[in-house]
């Protein structure tokens, strides 16, 4: 990998506070492009346009992500005076529609909780831990990385809030339901292992991959297709179900830790009939009759 890519990644980390996962994704995309084109700092527009053919088998969203990484890279080269031109307009620009997030129905969420609560009744540490994890995923909308890396000190004591470090090392406060507080208390009673993490494993914390596996296995036991369940799907369910309940979009943005509200707006894919019902029932004029208009109007 060329030194210019390393310099670009260093800038993302130092000045933009990019998270480790974000840096890893940029590194993969830029390294893969360099394997196709050679030194990216020397590539011209014709070379970049050839990537469209090389990426033809990829989903539009993947092409958009790769192109975005390269556009930012060439912007960096121009700002640093390494290049006097910007060849990035030649990159593929697929007209990708952002897919609606997968969500679980209320019945499916209930089935997951019913199953995990039955298992946690045994007080086995693995079952109680899974209950606590599920409560925080669905009850607080945490990202997988945010959840598995929670420090032990994050457990609420006086106030029902968690301090979570999200993308870009941005901290935010998220509420914790009474159910989740009870689940966490049960987990702390049977928690095994030492260290600073709330969910320890092998001297560190459980991995995102292991969290993903545990949820898939729970879905099977709850008679739900495992492909429908993941940490991010539960985060989507948290957001969608809150919105259905009347939550404000700005509040939802804060809870989810979105830097841009346009990211939160994806959750406005709620049922149109529900929106009509909401207007008819909640609007100030919903129960007011139209004033009689004067004759001749």
Rg over alpha carbons for the chain, rounded to the nearest Å, is: 24
Token digits for 273? 């009939």
Residues above pLDDT 90, as percent of the chain: 40
- How far is 227 from 148, CA to CA, in rounded Å? 21
Token digits for 52? 């469209």
Which of 26, 74, 138, 267 does the annotation list as catalytic? 267
Q: What is the CATH number of domain 106-277?
A: 1.10.443.10
Which of 143, 186, 205, 241 does the annotation list as catalytic? 143
For residue 290, pLDDT over 50 is answered with no
More confident residue, 277 or 68: 68
Q: Tell me the average pLDDT of the chain.
A: 83
Which of 115, 205, 235, 241 does the annotation list as catalytic? 235
Is the pTM of the predicted complex or chain greater than 0.85?
Answer: no
What is the predicted pLDDT for the residue at 266? 64
| CA torsion, ordered 69, 73, 74, 75, to nearest 10 deg | 100
Q: What is the CATH number of domain 3-90?
A: 1.10.150.130
- Sequence-ordered list of residues with C-beta below 8 angstroms from that of 212, at least 6 positions apart, any chain: 144, 230, 231
* Dihedral sign, Cα of residue 116, residue 122, residue 127, residue 132: positive
For residue 271, pLDDT over 80 is answered with no
Has 269 been annotated as catalytic?
no
Has 232 been annotated as catalytic?
yes
Q: Residue 264: is it exposed, middle or buried by C-beta count within 10 angstroms (0-12/13-18/19+)?
A: buried
HSE at residue 204, side-chain half, CA atoms within 13 A, is 5
Residue 101 has phi, psi (to 5 degrees) of -70, 145
Which of 93, 208, 216, 232 does the annotation list as catalytic? 232
What is the predicted pLDDT for the residue at 99? 57
Strands (E), 111-214: 161-165, 171-175, 200-201, 204-205
Has 172 been annotated as catalytic?
no
What is the predicted pLDDT for the residue at 1? 55
- Sequence-ordered list of residues with C-beta below 8 angstroms from that of 275, at least 6 positions apart, any chain: none
The residue extents of the domains of the chain are 3-90, 106-277
Which of 71, 167, 191, 216 does the annotation list as catalytic? 167
Has 208 been annotated as catalytic?
no
Biggest CA–CA distance in the chain, Å, is 82
CB 166 within 8 A of CB 257: yes
Segment 152-210, tens digit of pLDDT: 888 877 768 777 877 767 777 788 888 888 999 999 999 987 788 999 988 889 999 99
What is the predicted pLDDT for the residue at 285? 67
What is the predicted pLDDT for the residue at 297? 45
Token digits for 264? 């939160």
């Amino acid at each position: 990998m060329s030194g210019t890519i390393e310099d670009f990644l260093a800038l993302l980390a130092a000045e933009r506070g990019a998270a480790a996962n974000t840096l890893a994704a940029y590194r993969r995309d830029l390294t893969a492009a360099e394997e196709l084109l050679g030194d990216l700092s020397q590539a011209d527009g014709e070379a970049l346009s050839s990537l469209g053919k090389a990426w033809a088998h990829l989903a539009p969203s993947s092409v958009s992500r790769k192109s975005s990484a390269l556009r930012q890279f060439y912007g960096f080269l121009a700002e640093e005076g390494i290049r006097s031109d910007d060849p990035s307009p030649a990159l593929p620009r697929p007209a990708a529609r952002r897919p609606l997030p997968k969500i679980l129905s209320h019945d499916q969420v209930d089935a997951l909780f019913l199953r995990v609560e039955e298992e946690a009744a045994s007080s086995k540490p693995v079952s109680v831990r899974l209950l606590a994890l599920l409560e925080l995923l669905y009850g607080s909308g945490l990202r997988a990385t945010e959840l598995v890396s929670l420090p032990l000190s994050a457990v609420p004591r006086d106030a029902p809030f968690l301090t979570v470090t999200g993308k870009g090392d941005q901290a935010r406060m998220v509420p914790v339901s009474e159910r989740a507080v009870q689940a966490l208390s049960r987990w702390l009673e049977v928690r095994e292992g030492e260290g600073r993490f709330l969910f320890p494993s092998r001297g560190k914390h459980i991995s995102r991959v292991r969290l993903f596996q545990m949820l898939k296995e729970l879905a099977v036991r709850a008679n739900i297709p495992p492909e429908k369940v993941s940490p991010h799907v539960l985060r989507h369910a948290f957001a969608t179900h809150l919105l259905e309940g009347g939550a404000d979009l700005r509040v939802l943005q804060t809870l989810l830790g979105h830097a841009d509200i346009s990211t939160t707006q994806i959750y406005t894919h709620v049922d149109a009939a529900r929106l009509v019902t909401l207007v008819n029932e909640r609007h100030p004029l919903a129960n007011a009759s139209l004033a009689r208009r004067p004759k001749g109007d």
